[in-house]
Amino acid sequence: MVEAIRFRDDNVHEEPAVSLDAFLDQSNATAVRIEAGEDARLLLPLLDRLALIEIDFPVFGDGRGYSAAQILREAGYKGELRASGDVLVDQIAYMRRCGFDAFAPDAPIDAKVMKKALDLYDEVYQGTTDSRAPIWKLRHG
């Protein structure tokens, strides 16, 4: 079992994530896992019930999860947003920018390499849900 990586101060949510179908069918689950092709918008009416949303990356090149994460954060979701599956160190910085704050990679990630990757770029060109000010904003105050 590879250790999960978290960028949150709260405690790990213990309840296992259920599938999207199961979640939409039952009223008491607080954690859900969505697969790459599933529509994150189905969760929007139910966000305040959720403490954990796990988004799976079957292969790192499948970028649908980035949009799913953005959609959830744009809608105001504040709970844990976890990327699982083929999550590699070289994608984590972009995942952070799209709102992921926890990672459950299939293979271990070297903490030092990850820190370096996350600290690398001082600025960003575009706005996302991570609230960093894009360069155009720095230019124009």
Which residues contribute to the site for other proteins (CB under 8 A)? Answer: 39, 60-64, 66-68, 70, 74, 88, 90-91, 93-95, 97-98, 113, 116-117, 120-128, 134-140
Three-state DSSP class for residue 31: strand
CB of 27 to other proteins, least distance (A): 27
Smallest distance from the beta carbon of 25 to other proteins, in angstroms? 23
CB of 88 to other proteins, least distance (A): 6
Nearest to 81, CA basis, from 69, 67, 63, 64: 69
Computed on alpha carbons and rounded to an integer, the radius of gyration of the chain in Å comes to 15
Q: Label residue 49 exposed, middle or buried (CB < 10 Å: 0-12, 13-18, 19+).
A: middle
Given the complex with other proteins, which of 51 and 93 has the nearer CB atom? 93
The two structure tokens encoding residue 120:
């690398």
Q: Which is nearer to other proteins, 29 or 55 (CB)?
A: 55
Residue number, 31 or 69, with CB nearest to other proteins: 69
**Min separation Cβ 95 and other proteins, Å:** 8
Q: Select 48 or 141, whichever has its Cβ closest to other proteins.
A: 141
Number of H helices, E strands in the chain: 5, 6
d(CA 101, CA 81): 6
